[in-house]
Every structure is written in C-alpha cells, then in structure tokens.
Amino acid sequence: MQRISAATLKSWISDGQELAILDAREDGEFGRSHLFWANPCGLSRAELRARAILPRFGTRIACVDGGEGGLAERLAAYLEGIGCTDVAVLEGGTPAWAAAGYVLFSGVNVPSKAFGEWVEHHYHTPSIDPAELAAMRESGQDMIILDSRPMDEFRRMSIPGAIDVPGGELVYRIGEIAPDPSTTIVVNCAGRTRSIMGAESLRSAGLPNKVVALRNGTMGWELAGFACETGKTASYPAGTPGSLPVALDRARAFAERSGVKTIDRAGLDRLLADGGRTTYLLDVRDPAEYAAGHLVGSRSAPGGQLVQATDQWVAVRGARIVLVDDTGVRARMTGGWLRQLGQWEVYVLEDGLSGRLEEGAWQPRCPEADALRPVTVAPAELSALLAEGGAQVVQLSRSIDFREAHIPGALWGVRTRLARLAPRLQADRPVVVAGAEEALARLAVPELQGLVAAPVRLLAGGLGAWRAAGLPLARDRRNPEDADCIDTYLRPYDRNEGVEEAMREYLSWEIDLVHEVARDGDARFGVM
C-alpha cells in the first residue's frame, strides 16, 4: 500500500491530474476537521458511497483519516479490493497535514459554501437583513420571497409568505413566478449559500427585476426575533414553463461565459468509453422528474443541491461532468456554477432524454450486499414478536433520522460501532437489523452476528416496508444525544442545546471561509 506525505498530497492537488481525496471517518467526525477538497467516505457506508462517487476505478485516490490509525488503511484496502488501481494513504492523517503548516477546515460541503461566499464578494450580490424584509412585507411592497431549498427543508421551517423554488429551478421558472419586472425578488435558504447562489443565478442570467438575498436566511430571521412557519408546501407551477424560450436564452449566455460545452449522445458515448478519464453523468432535474424517466446510467443530482453540496456527487478533481435535463436551462445554469467552483470540464447533453429511458429512483450499486442471503423477518412478524418481547431491534438510520422515526424499542447503531451495542443485546431472543437502506442493513447482519450469541435477522424491506405496513414509529429528540451523533454533522437546529449560539457560530464560520480558503490556496474559483 502506497503511503504519501502531506507535502506530496499538497502537490497532487495542484498538479492538474485527476485526484480524489476520500476521508474514511464518519460524517460527523469528518466535519470537525478535514482537508478542503476531501470527500467524506465513512467506512460504515463505503460500499455504497465509493461506487457512487468514483465512476472510474483507475483514478488517483488518496485516503485520509484523523490520525486515529487504521481507518484510512482499511478504506484503501477496500478500494483496492474492488478494483481501484492507484490508491495511497496520507501518512499521519489530518494531524500530519496540520503539522506541515497546511489548513484544515471544519463543517461539511466546504468547497460549495466557500464558493458561495466568493460569489457574494466577486459579483457583489446584494442582500437585505431580516428587519428590512419584515418592513417590506409590512408595507405591502410588490415582492416575492423564494426559498431555494428542497421541499423537505422548506416544510420544516420557512419565512412567512415564501414559496419553495429550489435553486436549480429559479432561472427556469422565474418567468411564471414573477412575470412583472417591477416585482422585487428575495431569495432565502437556511443560512447563506443557497440564498446567495439563488439570487446571483437570477442576476447573472440577466433578470430585469431587483433581486436580493436574505442575509443569513431562516437562521438570521429567527435570531432577529421573527418566527418561521412550519408545514408549508407552497411551490411553483408544475410542468414546462411558458417562458422557456427566454429562460433558455438567459441560461445559454451564462453557460457560454462560464465555459460550459454541449455534447450529443455519440459524444457522450466516446467520453464514457475513455478509460483514461473520469466522467460523471448527472441528471439535474427534480428527483420526481428523474424517477419518471431518466437516461440509463445517470444519477439524480438536483441542480441547486449539486452546487450547494458538490462533494456529495463529485469526488474527482479534474474529472468531466455531463449534465442532463429536458430543456437545457437547468443543466446550463448548474454547469456554469460548477465550472466556476471547481474548473471541471462540464458538458450539457443535448437531447439527453430522447430514446430509451428507465424509471425509478437512483439506487447505489452494492454487490457485497446483493451476495448475502440473510434470514428475513416480515414487518408484521417483527411487530408481533416485539409485542410479546420476542425480538430485539438494531436500527441503522442517520442519527437525526432515528430521532424523528424509529421502531419502538430499537437501538440506534452505526455499522462501524456495532461492538458498542453487543453488551446491550440479550442472547435469548433474535436480533433484527432494520435499515433505512436495506443494503447497509444486509451488510450489518453477518457483522453483528460475529459479535452476539443471539441469531441475527434482517427486516425485509427495511423501514420503508415497516412504514408501508402502517406500523408505529417512535420519536425521541434525545436518542441519540448530540455528542453521540458521529454519523452526521449536526446543523444548529438539529441540536438540543445552545441552538442560537450554534447558529451564530455557523454564520460566522461561513463568512470567514473566504479568508480561510485564501490562506489554504487550493481553490481557484471563477472562470479560468
């Protein structure tokens, strides 16, 4: 196994060759301190995540951990085992990186969030504070508030009177939403990045309206003493907008300025056949549109979220990215920002949805899970066993999801920490593993069986099947406690204590990212 120094990895980042930096720690651990261009690839999800973010196993990969010893090596060994041919381990992990004088970053989606701050500075994106917005609403000014987050986040909390228009949809649909150029448009998110990117998307597309970002989003709104609404579902009109020709002209101009290219199906086939370069094929439409019919081999990556959290989809520096949609507007706007964020070679696929399509949500490949044949328990059977005290449940969900919905009496678990649960499991009744993703639960069955005497089974269909059967779910905001949520980086409003302080710290962290990025020197934002 190749081992490299911090200085070597630093030189790799800027040498122009393909490179993926994968951090083997769980997402919450990763969020405390990591390299700028690192992608989280925690060992508990590595079988799913590695294949999702590495379309080509021949790319150069550096595995990193927090210096605990062994995590990066385990990830590297796994990657080599599935066919990756150029894998190295950063000797000493992040402590060695810091000791060499290089910068470490806290938080998640750092390149995207830092880029948002750069965009605000570079394009002079105007913003208003919550008190200004409240006064505008009170005065009855001709204005509209657009929330650029996905619907699930919008439903959780929103500015009064806002409608949900995820960032990738804004330029595409604004002609239907705000046809009058005298209407002031306010774009918000939970914090800063998607507010800035949404507002600047409309401005950079040449919209004649006055467009501003809500400074610090819903966090700033609440910190200013205003109340958010919950449970709202107001959204944009469905279907292809009648203003499409204007939107397409705007998106074309923006994409061309940013260096986005177009490609046809024959050109895509040539890129995918090139074994010496990595090519991502991403569908930037709404996930429901993707599920209704998408290009075979493409992955769902809604445009606004792709720019907001690029490291969830794209791990390889120097890769090619091909974007797919139905009209070209959303792909061009997304592509223009990706070019400026990471200088990837970005293409928009023309007529990408012609010909044979496949239906359904995107699912990661996991041959290791497919090869297992654990004994299964149906939801109704498990419910009956639990009612008579005849079973124990270990549930593998994200910690914040477990808090919101878990099988009554279940223990929360992470695959890499199952040994911690073993003392709490009795030998006199079977253990049933339930998962939000059945592949991970399937993988955990033999791993847990090696730790306990009781027989270990799999809940057939996972939590989705439990819900579909109408069976009860429990909710407990403190299970697990904040300090135990190693699998996810808690947002301020996910915390049980110190929420306002965490909001202020988060917003200060985002604002300061521009300075930290400059000190690090590995980002080259803008059109090169």
Reported as a single tens digit per residue, the pLDDT across 15-57 is: 999 999 999 999 999 999 999 999 999 999 999 999 999 999 9
Distance CA 388, CA 381 (A): 11
Name 212's Cβ contacts closer than 8 Å, sequence gap at least 6.
Answer: 126, 127, 128, 184, 185, 186, 187, 199
Each residue's pLDDT tens digit, 248-257? 999 999 999 9
Rounded to an integer, what is the distance from CA 26 to the centroid of its chain? 14
What's the mean pLDDT in 371-398? 97
Distance CA 159, CA 507 (A): 18
Any idea what the Cα angle at residue 377 is, between residues 375 and 381, rounded to 5°? 150
DSSP per position, 351-398: TTTSS-EE-S------HHHHT----EE-HHHHHHHHHTT--EEEEES-
Q: 508, exposed or middle or buried, with CB in 10 Å at 0-12, 13-18, 19+?
A: exposed
Name 304's Cβ contacts closer than 8 Å, sequence gap at least 6.
Answer: 148, 149, 150, 166, 167, 168, 169, 170, 194, 197, 198, 334
DSSP state letter for 400: H
Each residue's pLDDT tens digit, 403-448? 999 999 999 999 999 999 999 999 999 999 999 999 999 999 999 9
Within 10 angstroms of residue 489's Cβ, the number of other Cβ atoms is 20
CA distances from 351 to 33, 77, 264, 348, 356 (A): 42, 40, 7, 9, 12
Structure tokens, 379: 């939801």
Distance CA 6, CA 444 (A): 34
Q: What is the pLDDT of residue 361?
A: 93
**Domains (range + CATH), the chain:** 2-107 (3.40.250.10), 114-236 (3.40.250.10), 248-354 (3.40.250.10), 368-484 (3.40.250.10)
Q: 8, exposed or middle or buried, with CB in 10 Å at 0-12, 13-18, 19+?
A: middle
What's the mean pLDDT in 379-394? 98
What's the mean pLDDT in 351-374? 94
Each residue's pLDDT tens digit, 240-298? 999 999 999 999 999 999 999 999 999 999 999 999 999 999 999 999 999 999 999 99
Q: What is the pLDDT of residue 527?
A: 73
Q: What is the pLDDT of residue 69?
A: 79
528 pLDDT exceeds 90? Answer: no
Read off the amino acid at residue 263: I
132 pLDDT exceeds 90? Answer: yes
What's the mean pLDDT in 129-150? 97
Backbone φ and ψ of 341, nearest 5°: -75, -50
Distance CA 517, CA 104 (A): 10
Each residue's pLDDT tens digit, 93-116? 999 999 999 999 999 999 999 999
Each residue's pLDDT tens digit, 479-511? 999 999 999 999 999 999 999 999 999 999 999
Distance CA 48, CA 364 (A): 6
Each residue's pLDDT tens digit, 311-333? 999 999 999 999 999 999 999 99
What's the mean pLDDT in 153-172? 98
Structure tokens, 385: 């066993």
Q: What is the pLDDT of residue 465?
A: 97
What is this structure's pTM? Answer: 0.96
What's the mean pLDDT in 373-388? 98
239 pLDDT exceeds 90? Answer: yes
Distance CA 345, CA 260 (A): 8
